[in-house]
Structure 1
Amino acid sequence: MDSKAYNQGLAELRAKRDDIASLRKELAQLEADRDRRIQALAAYPKANADRLAPAAGLSVGQIVALAPALAPDTAPTAPPTAASAAPEVPEQPAEPKPGTVAHLPATPPAVEAQPSAPGPAAPDGARPPAAAGQPKPGAPRELPSIPDGAEGDGWTRPTAGLVSTRPNFTHQPRQMAFLDTETGVLVHRDQQVRLDLGTRTVAEIITAVYATVPASVERIYVTAGDPWHRDADQHPFLRDAVAAWLSGPLPDGWTVETSRTRDRMAGHLVHERRPVGRWQRGNQHCEIRSVGEWFDPAGADPATVRDAFVLLWQHLRHHWHDVVLLGSPSQTGRDLWTRTIPAKTGAKWADGYPVMSEDIRGLLHATAGQGRTELLTPPTVPTQLPRWVELDRTFAYAKHCWASGVGEPQRVTAATFASWSEKEQTNALFAPSHWHIRVTVPNGWNHVGLLPAPITGDKAWAYPAQGGHTFTTWAGGAEVNLALRNPLQPWRIEILDGLLWESSTPLREWSTHLRDAWNALRSISEVHTDPRQRQAAALAARAVRSILLFGIGGFAQRPRIITGQTPLGSEHQVPDGAQITGVTDTHVTWQQNSGFSRDPNAHPEWAAGVWSAARAALLSTRMREDNISVGALHLPPGSIIAFRTDAIYTTTEPNWPYHGQPGEYLLKGRIPEPVPAPTTDDAFYTLQAAGRALHDTEPAPQ
């Protein structure tokens, strides 16, 4: 390039600069005009943010920001995640009422065997920012209650004609292939090839895969690459990018799946990180999903992932001769459970386990969280932490499937509870149960909170720990027992209402078989001489954990969400009450809550019990063989940094015994030197990753 060409290039560059400035000015004018039109349309009495969003090409949150009057009047009551301990404004303690339980015998609670308390997890995904008219995140939230009188008593009657029974059929196995969309490596049975996937669109992947494997392959697991995120930088939310990828052009003859069978679903699942796409061509079916539903592949190649699925099937077959791996661990877990339902004539529950009424299922769905998620920040913890220690409960949920509530629950009003003897009250709290309670934190309390308090916003639950603070909530018997009998100081609990089930063992055989498979696979992962087989066995063990974890979550049976797509310009076809979840150049993606289905295997009372017992055991549980109590309450006050479901993050390294059994605390991460206390989730996960990486490189103890 000479001087003349260089100067000519500069002149052209300046012209482009001026063109861009002109276009930006024009774009700003168009956007301002659009915003004025939105605000004018918002004045219409029946205006709806969900309708305006696709027409404007904006998110619902952006519409609400322009027209705050379209914001909902109350906070969403969607399924909640667990909480951050944002302190609430203390209320004045209420006068005692009938049903108060203040002083029960200080006998150690058997929290590891206690089931009781519900709670589903919140759906992933961005939510619109808080707008005018919405309660401030962290404000107290009122939970539903059982109506008084005959109406409330009617809630306890199970759903007529709906019971869980042992199936009399065997699922049809679906052939699988495993695809790394980064490298193009595809593995099917013993065949391994490298494909040209182009730009990794749905059409390119389907075309390339079925040019290599037979049409009988119905399930493609993506082991790496996340092709649904290929255009993430072109969309305001990750969910929009996933929806756009799923709804992209298809090869000739292919359409979105519409048929449905016992083990085959229809339509797409739009999930930010683990979506499921389903298509068909005549009688040929294709499902693309992430292997991350089962386990983090941790860099494993597709052949190793295939070996992990083979090992998983082999070890489950030791316990279930008719096992078939379904699309997800949740589907597989619940199917395996149904094959443990008593079938012998005359056996108790051989006629099936009753399904709770829709009212009780809705109550359980709304009145508790799942795992405890909480970040404690300064001044609750020091600004500079002396060290960082992560203690994770191994395969924790397997420890809490010993007993569960079955049959029609007994409603226990405050007056009924108050009329019982102390022994009857104690027995009720140790049985599978779910309680509406008023809680008062004792004066002088200086440790973490024990019971979840409902709050507004994404967090949904907080754990108040300020002495004298009073709040109303729902909790399972395991957590109520812990609050009354914790090793530090009893809390004051007033029983307002409750549900009490007969204790039985519907999950025991299922969880025991899964635990045995998990133990066998972990042993292979430690002793096998082939590194690839060791890795495959470790992944298969993680898959067993997912089967139990998500199988329990599946019992919770959240309200059914229907997802659909409507061509842009036909927004009037979007169902009333549907929520817009994504907008592309051609389609609007929406979802609608259609309530609870008649699912014969819906048992939120069982999921509730496991989750409640796990939250209680996170605070205090007994290792009987070692004669030692472990958990957060057995660490010094002020030493707890965070909770994450089954893990405690602390500044203390307690050296609790570890034998590799379910429920025991494994030292999983460690930073031995001072670090700044995290004040955001991003900072927390940065330290978590650093602690795990450092711990993995430390020499093993001699």
Structure 2
Amino acid sequence: MDRQTYTAELAGLRELRAEIAAAEKTVAAAQKELDKLTAQRARRVAGLAGYEAAKADAVAKASGLSVGDVVRIAPLLDPTPAAVRAAKADDQAAPAAPAPVVAPKAAPVDAEPAAAVAPALTGPATVVEQPASAASAAPVVQASPIAVAPTESVAPVASVADPVQSAASVAAVPRPAVEAGPRELPALPGGPAGARFEAVTTGLVSKRPNFVQQARATVFLDAATGDLAVRDRVVRLDLGARTPGEILDTVLATAPGTERVYITAGAPWHDGAERYSTLKDAVAAWLNTPSERWTTAVGSGRDKLAGHFVHQRQPVGRYAPASAPDSASTEIRSMGEWFDADGADVVTCRQAFTLLWQALRRHWDDAVLMGSPSQTGRDLWSRTIPTTGKWAGGYPVLSEELRGLLHATGGQGRTELILPPRVPEQLPALVEYDRTFAYAKHLWKSPVGIPRRITAAAFAAMSEAEQTKALMSCSHWNVRVTVPAGWNHVGLLPAPVTGDRAWIYPSTPGETFVTWAGGAEVHLALANHLMPWKVEILGGLLFEDGKPLDEWGKRLKAAWADLTNLSKLHGDERQRQAAYLASRAVRSVLLFGLGGFAQRPRLVSGTTPLGEALPAGVEILGQDESVVTWQRQAGFSRDPYAHPEWAAYVWSGARAALLDMKYRQGKEVIGHAGALHAKPGTVVYFGTDGIALTERQPWPYRGEPGDYLLKGHLTGPVEHPTSQEEYLKLRGLGRAELAEKGADQ
């Protein structure tokens, strides 16, 4: 072989290598698709077992499987007579002569329970110092904090000490097995019922709309002064007794065709509130004030909502002419849905809406401001659904069972007042930090598609790399958690309790509880820089990583940045204030738009004439001399935009960032902020996207979404607040002091 032939053969070999690589990719893609279809077939076969008259042979013929394969997937379809199965089981149970067994040595009292233990996410074992109160105890070495439960039971088990701890430290730090409260969270069922938790709702998909929203004729009314901003003029009105009917009569006489009235100040729905036992009763009574000319709207056409929405401070009244109840309706709404007007007049509020529309219009050609930030946010998102790629046909809506699970187990923002002795009775100061446009930072990745159920056994069978990747992916985990001995900081994971709070954050060393948490929080519990917690995986849901909210978030962040800059640089004071209010409205669009994806079970309200029978299952909100106002839960609607998996994932990431947030420059981490980076005993309060502490922190503020902004500083000594109401009063004083003295005080 000469050199020329050799060179030619090498070139041919390279071409063959490329062809083989392409063929391997094709085979891998085909195998992936085959695995997907096979798993889908298995789920459908398991689902058919829920039908009482299902037969294995019919299912086998339809699925292309053998009867044996069908029975292995769905044991309930086993056609073997019960007596034969029982006899076979007895034969298998009859043991041969038992072999001699050597009695095992007694296990030490602090041995770990039988479980597959994965390595710590922090790498090598981490040595942490005991708090000052336990100085006599030896340092604690935490290793391999993540465990897999031996069964899928979610009942709490007795907690045991880590084997590396000394007897002294175990005695000094009791570790009781307690639940955080009597509220028990649902778990993933097994068998055919479990298949519904790996499924979507048939025929329900989030699709890009093929129509353009119609703008509504809108005016802005100060109900205290009677000032009405309509188009480019302001008119002073006499609103009479400020009932809904009188407001509508007066407004429509001045601005015919008005479809939406925003109340910027005055809150007429609170008139006479002292006559009612609750504020909600007063609002319901005002919304239903009898009128000869107006009645409650019954709704018609696209986006024509019916009935009133009873809320203590931001109610919505929907009215139609009594002579034509099916005709176009007019809404009375609160400006507070969008932003706190904070004394701004009706002209400034109207200008804020104009600036908001202009800012959104730069990023959406068809942007329209709808009645609420939630409706607007969802509509704008729907116009970012991709037209090409995997999700061009829209995003499927999860099964009702899975949505119910996420609703029950995916809490929202963290609200917690930390009481003495964990913090001082006398606070040296009260310093408030607020995360700027917080949720916008957590939209770059979200779960998509049908989740894969991960059992405890399946998690145990994963490699270390696979376990780490699963926890860092879009996921939702059912876990048993133990606070480590020596822990002296705030709680990391939510635990369920009854009552208004719904969730608490245990932090007592040795406390054990069962909960659900997002991958971001579980990963933080295992990988925080102070001390890894012990987490046992009972089960979970692993989604595909996607970007369904990324484009929506980028556009809203750009609109927010434009308005924020305008609020600082514009030469006119009114325009600066309007731009600031508009930037707050963008925040509301994102915040409430995201909450709209959660799609809680619907609350339907209505009225019934006094003396008539009430509908079944209603809660009475109030009554007057003519009608009873009520509400009831109506379950989940067939909402094509219901995606609680997105809301739960973003909320989980935001809760984790309250504890540990990274400052990045490109891909490089250049700093940290959050409660875990403050001294133990200095954190006083968590409030959704803010923290209050007893001292200032060296956290830089760059004005970017997620950054911690110094919002208030109340000089001490300050008596520790005993309730959220007391804290909010102190927070107001702290904001006023900071505004007066400046950030450099």
Q: TM-score, normalised by structure 1?
A: 0.80
Residues 565-588 of structure 1, C-alpha deviation per residue, up to 9 Å, x if partnerless? 111212x2x121111122222221
CA distance in 2, matches of 1:359, 1:101: 31
Task: Tell whether the 8 Å contact from 1:184 to 1:197 is kept in structure 2 after alignment.
Answer: yes
Equivalent residue for 1:226, pick from 267, 286, 300: 267
Residues 463-514 of structure 1, C-alpha deviation per residue, up to 9 Å, x if partnerless? 0000000000000000000000011000000000100000010000000000
CA distance in 2, matches of 1:642, 1:545: 22
Partner in structure 2 of residue 128 of structure 1: none
CA distance in 2, matches of 1:654, 1:602: 39
Equivalent residue for 1:306, pick from 350, 369, 372: 350
- Residue identity (%): 58
CA distance in 2, matches of 1:540, 1:96: 56
CA distance in 2, matches of 1:481, 1:195: 58
What's the secondary structure of 2:716's corresponding residue?
Answer: coil
What's the secondary structure of 1:627's corresponding residue?
Answer: strand
Higher gyration radius (CA): 2
2:372 matches 1:332: no
Residues 654-688 of structure 1, C-alpha deviation per residue, up to 9 Å, x if partnerless? 13110100000000000122110001122111101
Residues 343-365 of structure 1, C-alpha deviation per residue, up to 9 Å, x if partnerless? 13xx2200111110000000000
Equivalent residue for 1:266, pick from 306, 309, 312: 306
C-alpha distance 300-443 of structure 1, shift in aligned 2 (>3 A): same
- CA drift of 1:592 comes to 1.2
Partner in structure 2 of residue 658 of structure 1: 701
CA distance in 1, matches of 2:644, 2:312: 25
Residues 200-255 of structure 1, C-alpha deviation per residue, up to 9 Å, x if partnerless? 111211111112111x2100000001110001100000010000000002242x21
Alignment: residue pair count: 576
Partner in structure 2 of residue 240 of structure 1: 281
CA distance in 1, matches of 2:741, 2:301: 50
Task: Tell whether the 8 Å contact from 1:186 to 1:193 is kept in structure 2 after alignment.
Answer: yes
Task: Tell whether the 8 Å contact from 1:434 to 1:477 is kept in structure 2 after alignment.
Answer: yes
C-alpha distance 634-452 of structure 1, shift in aligned 2 (>3 A): same
Task: Tell whether the 8 Å contact from 1:93 to 1:468 is kept in structure 2 after alignment.
Answer: no
CA distance in 2, matches of 1:602, 1:96: 40
CA distance in 2, matches of 1:260, 1:402: 37
Task: Tell whether the 8 Å contact from 1:437 to 1:494 is kept in structure 2 after alignment.
Answer: yes
Equivalent residue for 2:121, pick from 104, 109, 121: 104
Residues 313-348 of structure 1, C-alpha deviation per residue, up to 9 Å, x if partnerless? 00100010011100000000000000000113xx22
CA distance in 1, matches of 2:279, 2:356: 32
CA distance in 1, matches of 2:585, 2:449: 31
- CA drift of 1:101 comes to 4.8
2:441 matches 1:424: no
Partner in structure 1 of residue 660 of structure 2: 620
Residues 110-167 of structure 1, C-alpha deviation per residue, up to 9 Å, x if partnerless? xxxxxxxxxxxxxxxxxxxxxxxxxxx9833100111112321332111111111110
Task: Tell whether the 8 Å contact from 1:171 to 1:263 is kept in structure 2 after alignment.
Answer: no
CA distance in 2, matches of 1:671, 1:255: 50
CA distance in 1, matches of 2:403, 2:345: 42
Q: What amino acid is aligned across from residue 649 of structure 2 in structure 1?
A: G
Partner in structure 1 of residue 228 of structure 2: 186
Q: What amino acid is aligned across from residue 437 of structure 1 in structure 2?
A: V
CA distance in 2, matches of 1:169, 1:94: 64
Higher relative contact order (CA 8 A, sep 6+): 1
CA distance in 2, matches of 1:375, 1:439: 22
CA distance in 1, matches of 2:189, 2:723: 40
Partner in structure 2 of residue 581 of structure 1: 621
What's the secondary structure of 2:398's corresponding residue?
Answer: coil
Partner in structure 1 of residue 648 of structure 2: 608
CA distance in 2, matches of 1:548, 1:94: 49
Partner in structure 2 of residue 145 of structure 1: 187
1:42-121 equivalent positions in 2, closer than 5 A: 96=113, 98=115, 101=118, 103-106=120-123
C-alpha distance 527-151 of structure 1, shift in aligned 2 (>3 A): same
CA distance in 2, matches of 1:99, 1:605: 28
- CA drift of 1:102 comes to 6.2
C-alpha distance 494-138 of structure 1, shift in aligned 2 (>3 A): closer
Q: Root-mean-square deviation (CA), in Å?
A: 1.7
CA distance in 2, matches of 1:518, 1:101: 43
Q: TM-score, normalised by structure 2?
A: 0.76
CA distance in 2, matches of 1:645, 1:99: 35
2:366 matches 1:322: yes
Residues 86-127 of structure 1, C-alpha deviation per residue, up to 9 Å, x if partnerless? xxxxxx9996454655623449xxxxxxxxxxxxxxxxxxxx
CA distance in 1, matches of 2:376, 2:493: 32
Task: Tell whether the 8 Å contact from 1:138 to 1:456 is kept in structure 2 after alignment.
Answer: no
Equivalent residue for 2:734, pick from 688, 691, 697: 691
CA distance in 1, matches of 2:719, 2:642: 45
CA distance in 2, matches of 1:243, 1:545: 28
C-alpha distance 664-592 of structure 1, shift in aligned 2 (>3 A): same
CA distance in 2, matches of 1:203, 1:394: 40
1:435-584 equivalent positions in 2, closer than 5 A: 435-570=477-612, 572=613, 574-584=614-624
C-alpha distance 555-149 of structure 1, shift in aligned 2 (>3 A): same
Partner in structure 1 of residue 295 of structure 2: 255
Q: What amino acid is aligned across from residue 630 of structure 1 in structure 2?
A: A
Partner in structure 2 of residue 676 of structure 1: 719
What's the secondary structure of 1:177's corresponding residue?
Answer: strand
- CA drift of 1:378 comes to 1.4
CA distance in 1, matches of 2:118, 2:503: 23
Task: Tell whether the 8 Å contact from 2:180 to 2:513 is kept in structure 1 after alignment.
Answer: no
Of stretches 624-633 and 285-294 in structure 1, the one that deviates more from structure 2 is: 624-633
CA distance in 2, matches of 1:647, 1:327: 28
- CA drift of 1:639 comes to 0.2
CA distance in 1, matches of 2:524, 2:640: 33
Task: Tell whether the 8 Å contact from 1:402 to 1:507 is kept in structure 2 after alignment.
Answer: yes
C-alpha distance 98-416 of structure 1, shift in aligned 2 (>3 A): farther
Task: Tell whether the 8 Å contact from 2:221 to 2:265 is kept in structure 1 after alignment.
Answer: yes
Task: Tell whether the 8 Å contact from 1:93 to 1:440 is kept in structure 2 after alignment.
Answer: no
CA distance in 1, matches of 2:349, 2:298: 29
CA distance in 2, matches of 1:154, 1:364: 13
2:638 matches 1:638: no
Partner in structure 1 of residue 455 of structure 2: 413
Can you give the 5+ residue segments of structure 1 that lack an aligned partner in the other structure? 1-91, 108-136
Task: Tell whether the 8 Å contact from 2:493 to 2:521 is kept in structure 1 after alignment.
Answer: yes
- CA drift of 1:415 comes to 0.5
What's the secondary structure of 1:221's corresponding residue?
Answer: strand
CA distance in 2, matches of 1:201, 1:99: 66
Task: Tell whether the 8 Å contact from 2:119 to 2:464 is kept in structure 1 after alignment.
Answer: no
Task: Tell whether the 8 Å contact from 2:714 to 2:734 is kept in structure 1 after alignment.
Answer: yes
CA distance in 2, matches of 1:99, 1:393: 39
CA distance in 1, matches of 2:577, 2:307: 34
CA distance in 2, matches of 1:700, 1:455: 39
